[in-house]
Structure 1
Amino acid sequence: MKRILPAALFALAAAWPAAAQESRPLRIGWVQAMANAPALIAEEKGYFREEGLNVELKGFGDGPVIQQAVAGGEIDVAYIGAPPVYQWAARGLEAKIIAKVNYGQAALIARADGSIQSLSDLKGKKLAGVNRGSGMDVLLRGLVLKETAGLDPDADLQLSQMPVGNMNAALDTGVVDAAFSWEPFISQSVLRGAGRVVFDVNAALPGYPWYVVAAPAKTLKERPDDLVKLLRANTKAIAFLREHPEEANRIIAKSFKLESVKAADGSVVPPEAIVAEARKRLGWSAAIEPTDRAFIQRLINYSVDLGILNKPLSVDDIIDDSFAAKAAAQH
């Protein structure tokens, strides 16, 4: 029997933590919205594996649930809206936005046979939105209702909170008159002839940023190389979405388990056509531009005005471009 020398044992012991660290999957939480398709594409096309990254994707219904998962140490990095990141910062949980994922996604829709033709018609009506304090809620109350429509969200209409997946049914049955939703739910309603887009945020603010890649301090410190690999995979996925739209649409439709819908004229709209319709209101980009910083600062200011944040913050305190710079340099 060959004897292992003490020096060899020491080398094995020293290597063990590094090996264990490498084998531990990077747990990625993502809001299950079509705008976060790069996470799905990177997994489906093997871009994470190409970068030598072992990942575990976990889908969540909205940003506030991911916030809880990050705080509880259940995930390492998130595809999430920008507002939860600055909300973490305000509560003392250090986290950084390290890349952008997409632009656009939100729209306010109303019953196609209803009386709501413009935002001003919302006065006195019932409107569905998501959880108060979430990114979409800040966008709805701050930009859409207060700034654009000149309405008081708490006094001029009935604003109810519900999961985005329930909004189309609520609209169809008259429980609400309008809904502030995201894709693919908007396109499903429009293509069925049940809903009508009253206000497309991306049409009003072309290219406004929404989902971002964000990581808490622990991940930033302990797994910087994995974050760089993640951003390279994210960039590849975005390029694929742009360069191969038809294949990408099929992957998205399958991943979201979209079903065909029947249009008002009786024709059948296939799942990939729902994705194509949704792409009229959203797109994908990884680089954080100066205009993106300005918009996120605008969201921060809305949150302060709405009483969701108890103190003002600077957007520069929640963005770290260094990981993206390293990913680009190694590309």
Structure 2
Amino acid sequence: MLRLKPLLILLAAAASCHLPLARAADKPPLRIGWVFAMANAPAIIADKKGFYAAEGLKVEVKSFGDGPVVQQALAAGELDVAYVGAPPVYQWFSRGLDSRILAKVNYGQAAVIADRSEGVKTVADLKGKKLAGVARGSGMDVLLRGFVLKEIGGLDPDKDVDIVSMPPANMATALQNQQVDAIFTWEPFASESLLSGRGRLVLDVNQKLPNYPWYVVMAPAKTLKERPDDVIRLLRAHIKAIDFLQKNPDEANRIIADAFQIAPIKNGSKTIEPLAVVQEARKRLGWAWRLEAADQQFIQRLMDYSLSLGFMNKALKVEQVVDTSWLQRAEQGR
């Protein structure tokens, strides 16, 4: 019996060490929603390269057409975390959905592209024209109305331009068929339009607002309270994904081209391969995870646009919705 005691102690210790693992395995997956945009590639990379799994995190990852739809899913309790534009986060916060922006995902991505046959060479030339955009009040719509049209073009978005809402995947065809004079879109749709030879670049927003933040990682207060360790794991996987995008562009581009099912593009007799589309898109966007002071100032600017445009009924301060402490904790554990 004396000889058995050390063995029994070892077995008991081993069993106790495995209890947390068993509980982690029994936990429901962290449900992650992301807007279907190339700028949200870190969500794809973290999943495809196994970075979530390497952090001991079981996930369900689902894409959505735009930010408002993601926020609806969050409000309904169907998601735990999201990769989404900052405007939907603070707009829904103003309506009572308590949530926080935790980290940056990307910078850049948006562009105004005009039909080559039209005389639209500047944003101001859009006066009296028909412009394809996304849903009114969405993040991209705030950027379009508040910054692109009002500040850059000196235009009244409600009076001077006919903004037609449509899915970004349909915009290039609408431009080709001359249903609209120009489009305001994101990647990879902007690059597909440009490389096809049908569109002319009128404005790369990243040239006017260098490294402006767009998509962010956010979570409702409920997730932060109930699954804090999983939030940290997610942010560590997010950091790994962005490191991978920066250090392994060729492999990352292949993953992106496959995830977005980018097809070869015909431009006359020339065929442009999917990887070239991704490479073109990377001229207008990049990835970063830290929310710098300048990033937070830009989010405050977006909040002010939303208030002036009537998309919010009360003023907010960026400190109410941004919490960088979670990212700091994730970085400390790297």
Q: Which runs of 4+ in 1 moved over 3 A?
A: none
* Match of residue 32, structure 1, among 30, 36, 50: 36
Q: 2:225 aligns with which of 221, 224, 228?
A: 221
Matched, 1:275 2:253: no
**Superposed CA offset, 1:82-140 (max 9, x none):** 00110121001100001110000100100122211111110100001100000000000
1:71-110 map, 5 Å: 71-110=75-114
For residue 165 of structure 1, report the CA deviation from its aligned partner: 1.1
- Aligned partner of 1:307 in structure 2 is 310
Partner residue of 2:179? 175
Match of 1:5 in 2: none
Structure 2 residue aligned with 1:190: 194
CA distance in 1, matches of 2:288, 2:50: 19
Task: Give, in whole Å, the separation in 1 of the partners of 2:327 and 2:66.
Answer: 25
Name the counterpart of 2:125. Answer: 121
Structure 1 counterpart of 2:241, which letter?
A
Task: Tell me the SS of whatever aligns to 1:198.
Answer: strand
Q: Shift of the alpha carbon at 1:323?
A: 1.1
Matched, 1:43 2:53: no
- Equivalent pairs counted in the alignment come to 319
Counterpart for residue 199 of structure 1:
203
Q: Which amino acid aligns with 1:209?
A: P
TM normalised by structure 2 equals 0.93
Q: Deviations over 1:148-186 (max 9, x none)?
A: 111001111211111111111111101100010000000
* Aligned residue number for residue 266 of structure 2: 262
In 2, distance between residues paired with 1:279 and 1:22? 39
Residue aligning to 1:4:
none
Residue identity opposite 1:270 in structure 2? E
> Among 153, 160, 166, which residue is 1:156 paired with?
160
Offset of residue 23 of structure 1: 2.7
**How many angstroms apart in 2 are the aligned matches of 1:66 and 1:227?**
18
* Residue ranges of structure 1 left out of the alignment (5+ in a row): 1-7
> Is it true that 1:329 corresponds to 2:311 in the alignment?
no
2-structure distance, mates of 1:292, 1:218: 25
Give the whole-Å Cα distance in 2 for the aligned partners of 1:289 and 1:21.
Answer: 35
1:131 corresponds to which residue?
Answer: 135
Aligned amino acid, residue 260 of structure 1: P
TM-score (norm. length: structure 1): 0.94
The CA distance in 2 between the partners of 1:19 and 1:229, in whole Å, is: 16
Matches of 2:26 and 2:305 in 1, distance apart? Answer: 41
Distance between the aligned counterparts of 1:122 and 1:84, measured in 2? 26
CA RMSD of aligned residues (A): 1.7
User: Offset at 1:20?
Assistant: 6.9
Partner of 1:80, secondary structure, is: strand
After TM superposition, give the deviation of residue 21 of structure 1 in Å. 7.7
